[in-house]
Amino acid sequence: MRDKNAGNSQKENSKKEKSNESWAVIEVGGSQQILSVGDEITVNKVNVDKGKTFSVDKVLMLVEGGKVNIGTPYLEGRCAEFEVLDHKKGKKITVIKFRAKARYRRKKGHRQALSVLKLKKILVSKK
């Protein structure tokens, strides 16, 4: 006979691990991201050279070891340091305009410029 509570112990362990974990909600590249240190994200292009680091002071929320800090709208004295791993283009999209019986056809393509970033650390700002 299978124990009903066998799977619950694994769930409780994962909750405990998450309570010790730190993560943040950071606004970067025009969007808000939920990130932990070491996470890689793809956002709209940032004007920083490949391989360089830059800091963002738009930290909206920070969770450290179960302690939650929420900004209004941003946390004072906190910033996130990112490394630019790559610049690339997104998937091609095609926009077609067509009007029936008017001999009107337009076709246009677009590829979004993107940057791949890695969160190095979340720290107290230098200000």
Q: Is residue 58 part of a domain?
A: yes
Mean pLDDT, rounded, for 48-68: 92
| Cα–Cα distance, 14 to 62 (Å, whole number) | 20
CA 76 vs CA 48, 73, 79, 85: distances in Å: 24, 9, 9, 27
In tens, the pLDDT along 15-44 reads: 434 556 789 999 998 899 999 999 999 999
Tokens at 121, concatenated: 């650390």
In a domain, 84, yes or no: yes
Total number of domains in the chain = 1
Q: Looking at the domain assignment, is residue 10 inside a domain?
A: no
In a domain, 9, yes or no: no
| Segment among 1-10, 47-56, 64-73, 93-102 with least mean pLDDT | 1-10
Comparing CA positions, the residue from 84, 82, 80, 83 lying closest to residue 122 is 80
Tell which residue, 53, 63, 77, has the closest CA to residue 25: 63
The confidence score (pLDDT) of residue 127 equals 56
Residue 14 belongs to a domain:
no
Query: With 90 as the cut, is the pLDDT of residue 123 above it?
Result: no
Q: In whole angstroms, what is the distance from residue 44 CA to residue 115 CA?
A: 6
Total residue length of the chain: 127
Contact 60, 75 (CB under 8 A): yes
Task: Give the domain extent around 108.
Answer: 20-124
Structural domain contains residue 6: no
pLDDT of residue 14: 45
DSSP string, 28-51: ETTEEEEE-TT-EEEEE--SS-TT
- Mean of per-residue pLDDT scores for the chain: 85
